[in-house]
């Protein structure tokens, strides 16, 4: 198998471009690429479902040229090339292997929307080749991959923005401001959740078979362990297998926990424990369909609750974030937020024991806001940062920490013990066996470059 690390020639070029980029900090992307003023030339790696959603935001922007597409599925690449041609008039190059794209001198950046196990390698290779990167969440397949991505971004001074786009929604920003303002009183309990009922069939069971002829399946597997082709372990559904992703915890949990870290101004929890299993879904998934994770922060508990065998909504929402403070609560999701004032009560027992006494009146006002989709603004921020060289709203380091909460939830679930997390070294302090799960060995030929 051909080594995945970029060739000596392309690496040399990449290093030179990276060095030149460092020297040109502050220069517009177009100047770095030497192309026509203000144009931004991008490629996309992974043109599946999410890749095409991202193009909904990128393609309408006049200064964006989408000049290259890499996808291991020829149909996805071809269909996306047709779409670009219709929207922009040019025909982008298409390839199964993205490495040729990274060798191009006329490319400013890449959008990476591959499955989770294929985020770290192209993102690191891209910044080493002097490209800016917009990479989808969760940051990597495991903690060590995220750490390598942060190191690569910092070493090269390239932009590495992550698709945790809720940070660019104005109502999420306002909600975080309210939590941080102290208006809710002491925020001591936060809940995030995802509930739905897909029991018992879920995605069903399908026999292993031959990969379609128009797909480079070995390349789809990439760093993941070898496995016969199965439609459940492929497009879209890969997220329910630990070989490629982290189940609902990292697929959706990352969006929710990301906002919690932001609002609590925290880099991560001090400890985590979890309980769950595959209890209600009779398909081939190996990630849990039932999960309860408890995170401990100084003075605050966060729980992530997930079930796929019962869709009863919490406060009318099948997913969301609930901040509870001593003066009231803030309920938040993509549709908007609601501030709900609380009432202090004098319980019967206290009243009987100590007699009636005045109780605290809460002055918090009820407030609602409608949801604002942040996707376009998030993409705009990435493009602006390519020009200004400022750190993006969802910089890799921020999103790496949010992703870590999900990896930790999954590790605690697998290990079944309470894990103490060292924020500075990003290691588990009390459990050597759990520490081993912070990384995994890539399949030969798909190892990360040393950064």
Ligand X SMILES: NC(=O)c1ccc[n+]([C@@H]2O[C@H](COP(=O)([O-])OP(=O)(O)OC[C@H]3O[C@@H](n4cnc5c(N)ncnc54)[C@H](O)[C@@H]3O)[C@@H](O)[C@H]2O)c1
Task: Figure out which of the listed residues 43, 202, 222, 325 binds ligand X, where binding follows CB under 6 A.
Answer: 222
What is the contact mask toward ligand X in residues 244 to 283, using x (rule: CB under 6 A)? -------x--------------------------------
Nearest partner of 393 among 180, 182, 234, 163, judged by Cα: 163
Minimum CB separation of residue 112 from ligand X in Å reads: 8
Of all residues in the shown chain, the one whose CB is closest to ligand X is 48
* Stretch of 139-147, 216-224, 379-387, 412-420 contacting ligand X, by CB under 6 A: 216-224
Using CB under 6 A, pick the residue from 10, 11, 28, 48 that binds ligand X.
48
Residue 66 phi/psi, 5-degree rounding, is -105, 105
Place of tokens 């200064």: 63
The nearer residue to ligand X, 122 or 325, going by C-beta atoms, is: 122
- Picking from 62, 164, 158, 53, the residue whose alpha carbon sits closest to that of residue 110 is 158
| Rounded distance between C-alpha atoms, residue 202 and residue 260, angstroms | 29
Number of helices (H) and strands (E), helices first, in the chain? 15, 16
Q: Which stretch binds ligand X (CB under 6 A): 70-78, 184-192, 262-270, 330-338?
A: 70-78
- Binding-site member from 4, 65, 116, 145 for ligand X (CB under 6 A): 116
User: Binding of ligand X at residue 167 (CB under 6 A)?
Assistant: no
Minimum distance of ligand X from residue 445's CB (angstroms): 12
Stretch that binds ligand X, among 109-117, 191-199, 258-266, 295-303 (CB under 6 A): 109-117
Q: Any contact of residue 46 with ligand X (CB under 6 A)?
A: yes
Provide the token pair at 262.
């932001």
The CA distances from residue 267 to 158, 262, 326, in Å, are: 22, 8, 23
Pick one of 186, 227, 235, 279: the residue that binds ligand X (CB under 6 A).
Answer: 235
97/123 Cα distance (integer angstroms): 14
76 binds ligand X (CB under 6 A): yes
Considering the complex, state which of residue 34 and residue 226 has its C-beta at the smaller distance from ligand X.
226
Instruction: Tell me the C-alpha distance between 131 and 102, whole Å.
Output: 8
- DSSP code per residue over 105-160: TT--EEEE-S-GGGSHHHHHHHHHTT-EEEEPSSS-SSHHHHHHHHHHHHHHT--E
Q: Are 117 and 101 in contact (CB under 8 A)?
A: no
Collect all residues with Cβ–Cβ distance below 8 Å to 126 and sequence separation of at least 6. Answer: 102, 109, 110, 112, 132, 133, 158
Residue 47 binds ligand X, judged by CB under 6 A: yes
CB of 329 to ligand X, least distance (A): 25
Closest CA to 386 of 87, 35, 14: 35
Q: Which is nearer to ligand X, 98 or 421 (CB)?
A: 98
Q: Which one of the spans 67-75, 200-208, 285-293, 406-414 is the region binding ligand X (CB under 6 A)? A: 67-75
Can residue 4 be called a binding residue for ligand X (CB under 6 A)?
Answer: no
Question: Count of residues binding ligand X (CB under 6 A)?
Answer: 28
Q: Does 137 bind ligand X (CB under 6 A)?
A: yes
Determine, following the binding rule CB under 6 A, whether residue 113 of this chain makes contact with ligand X. yes
Residue 153 or 379 having the CB closest to ligand X: 379
Tell me: does residue 99 bind ligand X (CB under 6 A). no
Q: Could you tell me where the beta strands, DSSP code E, fall in 198-350?
A: 271-277, 290-297, 300-307, 319-325, 328-333, 336-341
Question: Per CB under 6 A, which region of 112-120, 141-149, 348-356, 397-405 contacts ligand X?
Answer: 112-120
227 interacts with ligand X by CB under 6 A: no
- Pairing label, strands 300-307, 290-297: antiparallel
Q: Does 136 bind ligand X (CB under 6 A)?
A: yes
Helix or strand holding residue 88 (H, E): helix 74-88
CA distance linking residue 255 with residue 405, whole number of Å: 11
Check binding of 115 to ligand X (CB under 6 A). Answer: yes
Report the interface residues with ligand X, using CB under 6 A.
Answer: 45-51, 70-73, 76, 98, 113-116, 118, 136-137, 163, 165, 219-220, 222, 235-236, 251
């Amino acid at each position: 198998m051909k080594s995945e690390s970029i060739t000596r020639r392309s690496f040399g070029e990449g290093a030179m471009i990276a060095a030149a980029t460092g020297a040109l900090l502050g220069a517009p992307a177009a100047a770095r690429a030497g192309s026509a003023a203000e144009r931004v030339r991008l490629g996309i790696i992974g043109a599946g479902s999410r890749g095409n959603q991202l193009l909904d935001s990128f393609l309408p922007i006049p200064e964006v040229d989408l000049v290259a597409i890499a996808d291991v599925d020829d149909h996805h690449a071809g269909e996306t090339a047709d779409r670009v041609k219709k929207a922009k008039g040019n025909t982008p190059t298409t390839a199964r292997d993205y490495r040729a794209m990274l060798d191009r001198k006329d490319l400013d950046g890449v959008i990476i929307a591959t499955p989770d196990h294929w985020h770290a390698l192209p993102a690191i290779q891209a910044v080493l080749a002097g490209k800016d990167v917009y990479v989808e969440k969760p940051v990597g397949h495991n903690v060590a991959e995220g750490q390598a991505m942060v190191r690569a971004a910092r070493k090269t001074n390239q932009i590495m923005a992550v698709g945790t786009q809720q940070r660019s929604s104005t109502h999420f920003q306002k909600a975080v401001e309210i939590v941080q303002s102290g208006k809710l009183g002491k925020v001591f309990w936060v809940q995030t959740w995802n509930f739905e009922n897909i029991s018992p069939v879920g995605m069903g069971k399908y026999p292993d078979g031959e990969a379609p002829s128009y797909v480079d399946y070995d390349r789809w597997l990439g760093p993941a362990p070898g496995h016969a082709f199965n439609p459940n372990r492929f497009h879209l559904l890969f997220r329910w297998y630990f070989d490629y992703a982290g189940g609902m915890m990292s697929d959706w949990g990352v969006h929710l926990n990301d906002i919690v870290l932001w609002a609590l101004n925290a880099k991560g929890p001090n400890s985590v424990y979890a309980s769950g299993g595959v209890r209600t879904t009779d398909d081939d998934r190996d990630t849990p369909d039932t999960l309860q994770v408890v995170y401990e922060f100084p003075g605050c508990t966060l729980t992530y609750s997930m079930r796929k065998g019962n869709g009863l909504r919490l406060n009318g929402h099948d997913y969301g974030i609930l901040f509870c403070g001593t003066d009231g609560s803030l309920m938040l999701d993509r549709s908007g937020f609601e501030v709900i004032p609380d009432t202090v009560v004098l319980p019967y027992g206290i009243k009987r024991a100590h007699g009636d006494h005045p109780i605290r009146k809460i002055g918090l006002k009820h407030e609602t806001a409608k949801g604002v989709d942040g996707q376009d603004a998030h993409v705009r921020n990435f493009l602006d940062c390519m020009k200004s060289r400022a750190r993006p709203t969802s910089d890799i380091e921020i999103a790496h920490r949010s992703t870590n909460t999900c990896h930790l939830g999954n590790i605690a679930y697998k290990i079944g013990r309470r894990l103490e997390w060292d924020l500075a070294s990003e290691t588990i302090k009390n459990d050597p066996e759990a520490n081993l799960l912070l990384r995994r060995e890539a399949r030969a030929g798909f190892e990360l470059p040393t950064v």
